[in-house]
């Protein structure tokens, strides 16, 4: 068969149903009038309002059609589809903007050729009518056409390990979390594993679906593996068509890019790149650039990778995991799937959910003993397979957040809480009076009382999950989201109730309880990169008649104090309760307001309990569990919606930054 450009165009056009209306002679004549045009990712093919003087046919790649108000994607076009016919049939300007979402190759003819070959062909006009009817029906229903597939390239800086681990685990987790079909493509330079030639990619790019299926291998990964070889030049030329062919079979294509030249060439053909780096530096978003969005992974197994403070979604830090040594890639992926608390697993689970647009963050509000309810919330979420990928805490919630991020299970934290205090050692811890610091009490004893919740982990760079804790700069009133340094100091700063416990000096700031500025820091979770946010406000509204043990003891003393009768203070509350009740009122009202930005809000009913009752942990935990049970249906609805809506995993990832980067002091 001839390899001339016209012969190749005839071969392409003959496979498109629209051109079945032409006989062989007409098709040859038409093929000679088409012009090949290519566009890179991000290029505009035509803009709304332009003169409609060209008809296009998509040969390879993918296009997005933008229109409406507000501007949104109204359609996607792939190989074999066409556009521009309506402007030519009706005359006038373009009604929408078409951009290349992947590198695309098109065939184009001008108005004169269109009128000669298309305008008077009844079968062609009938085909145009059918396509137009379908497009109008979809627009009327508000449908957005999902990408046929999403291609993820996994690569790494030279000399760094972990690429195949990430690619294999990611492929398995994407299949499980999304329920869609996934293929892992192992792309090597030169000869492929198993002895296939370097031309394999060029051959498979033109192969039938049946031929592709015959090349798939089962290596025990639960997703099929396709091993091919290609030189760097072949990747750039043939990978877009190869991806399009795989898209007929698989929703997700994960490329394990073993060759540096292949990785460079694959960046234009991938919707998303996952890159292993030795150190992570956030890069500014590139406006209008053709490159795929890149997510960064730091593998601490690499000697050149220093410890990183775990305080936001990206980078995805893989901690050293001895259990993975000596295992095959399939066995490593299985271990990461089955042992989600193993050192390497949390980052890879979070990466897969981030790609799906379904990463979950939780904001745990303050409230002294009320914060024990968070343990019940976390227990219910874990028991019902609701993942938590990142966590933020305020005041008492900061201690629970740190413990959970450090790797404690909710059950372990509940056991610690049950053993933590009696009524006597709680009062001993609370009444830690000082005469030398700007507070009634030092807070040292309370810190020791609550230390079992945090455990032995000392620094943010030792955490398993991204975590921040919120404090308030008492000199400026600013919210301060702490995400680095000492965990103990961060927890103390976040829970230093003004006037009651001593403030904390950190990096030139004087910090007090985060509840003063942001009692339920849902906004911080969003800034960290969570796609789904759960906010828990454990602080109840004050109820008349509910007294703390301090109030009861104080009133008994007042009843036998003659001076209290003379001063008229017998029925007034004590100083500690005055401060804490004021904080409770503030945190209840402001906390509910701050939680508005969350997708799901949880409010345990703790109005019959008080802030000081650390010696009644089970009652707080039970109320938290009950509130979480009530919220489960809504949480699962939101998660299901995020996993199935195309924009989360496709448009947002490919178009720009995944999230607003917050700063962690």
pLDDT, tens digit (0-9, with 9 covering 90-100), for 383-411: 999 999 999 999 999 999 999 999 999 99
pTM of the predicted model as reported, rounded to 2 decimal places: 0.80
- Of 327 and 576, the structure prediction assigns the larger pLDDT to 327
Residue 535: which residues within 8 A CB-CB, separation 6 or more? 362, 363, 365, 520, 522, 525, 594, 595, 597, 598, 600, 601, 602
Find the range with the poorest average confidence among 93-107, 128-142, 566-580, 623-637: 566-580
CB 330 within 8 A of CB 221: yes
- Of 560 and 262, the structure prediction assigns the larger pLDDT to 262
Q: Which of 270, 395, 494, 625 is catalytic?
A: 395
The interaxial angle of helices 373-383 and 410-420, nearest 10 deg, is 150
Mean pLDDT value of segment 92-121:
88
pLDDT, tens digit (0-9, with 9 covering 90-100), for 147-156: 678 899 999 8
Give the pLDDT confidence score for residue 103 in this predicted structure. 82
Two tokens, residue 4: 């001339």
Q: Reply yes or no on whether the pLDDT at 655 is more than 50.
A: no
Q: How far apart are CA 393 and CA 323, in angstroms?
A: 31
* φ, ψ of residue 138 in degrees (nearest 5): -65, -40
Give the pLDDT confidence score for residue 243 in this predicted structure. 82
| Burial call 329-342: b when 16+ CB within 10 Å, e when fewer | bbebbbbbbeeeeb
pLDDT, tens digit (0-9, with 9 covering 90-100), for 404-442: 999 999 999 998 888 776 665 555 555 666 655 665 566
Give the pLDDT confidence score for residue 373 in this predicted structure. 97
| 150-339 fold | Rossmann fold (3.40.50)
Torsion angle of the four alpha carbons 41, 42, 45, 48, in this order, in degrees rounded to the nearest 10:
150
- Longest Cα–Cα distance of the chain, Å, equals 115
Q: Find out if CATH 2.60.120.10 is the number for domain 5-141.
A: yes
Query: 232 pLDDT band (50/70/90 cuts)?
Result: low
Q: Average pLDDT, whole number, for the chain? A: 83
- Of 194 and 407, the structure prediction assigns the larger pLDDT to 407
CB 283 within 8 A of CB 276: no
Give the pLDDT confidence score for residue 228 in this predicted structure. 85
Q: How far apart are CA 410 and CA 408, in angstroms?
A: 6
Nearest to 293 by CA among 102, 519, 527: 102
494 given a catalytic annotation: no
Sheet hosting strand 225-229, strand order edge to edge:
225-229, 182-188, 252-257, 150-156, 272-277, 293-299, 316-318
- Which of 102-116, 233-247, 248-262, 464-478 has maximum average pLDDT? 464-478
Mean pLDDT value of segment 601-627:
92
Residue 587: which residues within 8 A CB-CB, separation 6 or more? 365, 366, 367, 515, 519, 537, 539
CB 183 within 8 A of CB 286: no
Q: How far apart are CA 348 and CA 264, in angstroms?
A: 23
pLDDT, tens digit (0-9, with 9 covering 90-100), for 39-76: 988 899 999 999 989 999 998 888 899 887 777 888 88
- Of 292 and 199, the structure prediction assigns the larger pLDDT to 292
CATH of domain 358-561+571-641: 3.40.1090.10
Q: Which of 234, 256, 473, 513 is catalytic?
A: 513
Give the pLDDT confidence score for residue 648 in this predicted structure. 34
Q: Reply yes or no on whether the pLDDT at 190 is more than 70.
A: no
Other Cβ atoms less than 10 A from the Cβ of 91: the count is: 10
H or E element, residue 594: helix 575-594
Give the pLDDT confidence score for residue 285 in this predicted structure. 46
Query: What is the percent of the chain with per-residue pLDDT over 90, rounded to a whole number?
Result: 45
pLDDT, tens digit (0-9, with 9 covering 90-100), for 322-340: 999 999 999 999 999 999 9
Query: 615 pLDDT band (50/70/90 cuts)?
Result: confident
Other Cβ atoms less than 10 A from the Cβ of 581: the count is: 16
Q: What 3-state DSSP class applies to 51?
A: strand
CB 600 within 8 A of CB 634: yes
Q: How far apart are CA 98 and CA 78, in angstroms?
A: 12
Q: Reply yes or no on whether the pLDDT at 647 is more than 70.
A: no
Q: How far apart are the first and last CA of the chain?
A: 66
CB 309 within 8 A of CB 317: no
Q: How far apart are CA 222 and CA 219, in angstroms?
A: 8
pLDDT, tens digit (0-9, with 9 covering 90-100), for 344-391: 999 999 999 999 999 999 999 998 889 999 999 999 999 999 999 999
The yes-or-no answer to whether 5-141 and 358-561+571-641 have a common fold is no
What ranges do the domains of the chain cover? 5-141, 150-339, 358-561+571-641
Query: 658 pLDDT band (50/70/90 cuts)?
Result: very low
Cross-strand bridge partners of residue 446: none
Q: How far apart are CA 404 and CA 534, in angstroms?
A: 15
Q: What 3-state DSSP class applies to 571?
A: coil
Q: Reply yes or no on whether the pLDDT at 556 is more than 60.
A: no
395 given a catalytic annotation: yes
Give the pLDDT confidence score for residue 126 in this predicted structure. 81
Q: How far apart are CA 355 and CA 250, in angstroms?
A: 16
pLDDT, tens digit (0-9, with 9 covering 90-100), for 455-499: 788 999 999 999 999 999 999 999 999 999 999 899 989 988 887
Q: How far apart are CA 466 and CA 446, in angstroms?
A: 25
Residue 571: which residues within 8 A CB-CB, separation 6 or more? none
- Indicate the DSSP class of residue 416: H
The pairing of strands 63-67 and 72-77 is antiparallel
Give the pLDDT confidence score for residue 287 in this predicted structure. 42
H or E element, residue 512: strand 509-513
Two tokens, residue 17: 């149903």
Mean pLDDT value of segment 515-533:
95
Sheet hosting strand 44-46, strand order edge to edge:
44-46, 97-100, 63-67, 72-77
Q: Reply yes or no on whether the pLDDT at 229 is more than 80.
A: no
Which ranges of 47-193 would DSSP assign to H, the alpha helix? 85-90, 111-117, 122-140, 163-178
Two tokens, residue 98: 């078409």
pLDDT, tens digit (0-9, with 9 covering 90-100), for 169-184: 999 999 999 999 999 9
Burial class (CB in 10 A: 0-12, 13-18, 19+), 287: exposed
Q: How far apart are CA 489 and CA 399, in angstroms?
A: 11
């Amino acid at each position: 068969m001839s390899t001339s450009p016209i012969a190749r165009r005839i071969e392409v056009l003959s496979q498109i149903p629209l051109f079945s209306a032409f006989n062989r002679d007409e098709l040859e004549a038409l093929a000679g009038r088409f012009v090949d045009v290519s566009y890179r990712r991000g290029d505009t093919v035509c803009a709304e309002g332009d003169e409609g003087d060209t008809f296009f046919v998509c040969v390879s790649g993918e296009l997005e059609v933008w229109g409406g108000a507000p501007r949104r994607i109204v359609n996607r076009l792939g190989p074999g589809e066409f556009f521009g016919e309506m402007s030519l049939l009706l005359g006038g300007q373009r009604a929408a903007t078409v951009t290349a979402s992947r590198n695309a190759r098109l065939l184009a003819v001008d108005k004169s050729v269109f009128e000669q070959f298309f305008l008077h062909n009844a079968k062609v006009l009938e085909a145009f009518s059918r396509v137009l009817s379908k497009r109008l029906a979809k627009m009327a229903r508000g449908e957005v056409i999902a990408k046929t597939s999403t291609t993820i390239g996994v690569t790494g800086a030279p000399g760094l390990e972990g690429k195949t681990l990430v690619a294999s685990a990611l492929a398995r987790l994407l299949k499980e979390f999304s329920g869609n079909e996934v293929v892992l493509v192992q792309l090597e330079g030169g000869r492929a594993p198993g002895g296939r030639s370097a031309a394999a990619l060029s051959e498979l790019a033109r192969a039938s679906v049946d031929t592709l299926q015959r090349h798939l291998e089962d290596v025990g990964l639960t997703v099929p593996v396709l091993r091919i070889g290609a030189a760097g030049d072949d990747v750039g030329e043939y990978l877009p068509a190869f991806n399009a062919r795989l898209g007929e079979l698989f929703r997700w294509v994960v490329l394990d890019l073993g060759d540096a030249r292949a990785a460079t060439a694959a960046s234009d053909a991938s919707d998303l790149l996952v890159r292993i780096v030795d150190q992570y530096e956030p890069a500014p978003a590139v406006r209008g650039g053709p490159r795929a969005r890149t997510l960064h992974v730091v593998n601490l197994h690499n000697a050149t990778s220093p410890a990183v403070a775990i305080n936001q979604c990206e980078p995805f830090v893989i901690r050293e995991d001895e259990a993975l040594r000596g295992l095959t890639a399939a066995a490593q992926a299985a271990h990461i799937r089955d042992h989600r608390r193993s050192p390497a697993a949390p980052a890879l689970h979070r990466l897969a959910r981030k790609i799906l647009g379904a990463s979950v963050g939780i904001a745990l509000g303050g409230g002294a003993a009320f914060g024990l309810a968070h343990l019940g919330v976390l227990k219910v979420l874990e028991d019902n397979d609701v993942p938590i990928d990142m966590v933020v805490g305020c005041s008492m919630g900061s201690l629970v957040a740190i413990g959970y991020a450090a790797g404690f299970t909710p059950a372990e934290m509940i056991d610690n809480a049950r053993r933590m205090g009696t009524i006597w050692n709680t009062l001993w811890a609370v009444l830690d009076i000082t005469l030398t610091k700007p507070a009634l009490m030092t807070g040292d004893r309370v810190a020791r009382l609550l230390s079992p919740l945090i455990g032995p982990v000392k620094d943010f760079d030792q955490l398993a999950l991204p975590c921040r804790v919120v404090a308030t700069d008492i000199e400026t009133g600013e919210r301060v989201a702490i995400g680095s340094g000492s965990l103990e100091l961060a927890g103390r700063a976040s829970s230093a109730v003004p006037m009651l416990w001593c403030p904390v000096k950190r990096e030139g700031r004087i910090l007090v309880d985060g509840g003063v500025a942001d009692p339920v820091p849902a906004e911080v979770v969003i800034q960290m990169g969570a796609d789904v946010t759960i906010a828990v406000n454990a602080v109840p509204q004050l109820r008349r008649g509910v007294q703390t043990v301090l109030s009861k003891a104080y009133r008994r003393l007042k009843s036998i104090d003659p001076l209290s009768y003379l001063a008229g203070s017998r029925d007034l509350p004590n100083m500690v309760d005055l401060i804490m009740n004021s904080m409770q009122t503030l945190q209840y009202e402001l906390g509910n307001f701050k939680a508005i930005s969350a997708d799901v809000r949880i409010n345990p009913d703790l109005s019959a309990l008080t802030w000081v009752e650390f010696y009644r942990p089970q009652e707080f935990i039970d109320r938290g569990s009950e509130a979480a049970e009530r919220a489960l249906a809504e949480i699962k609805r939101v998660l299901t919606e995020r996993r199935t809506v195309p924009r989360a995993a496709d448009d947002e990832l490919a178009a720009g930054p995944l999230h607003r980067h917050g700063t962690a002091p």
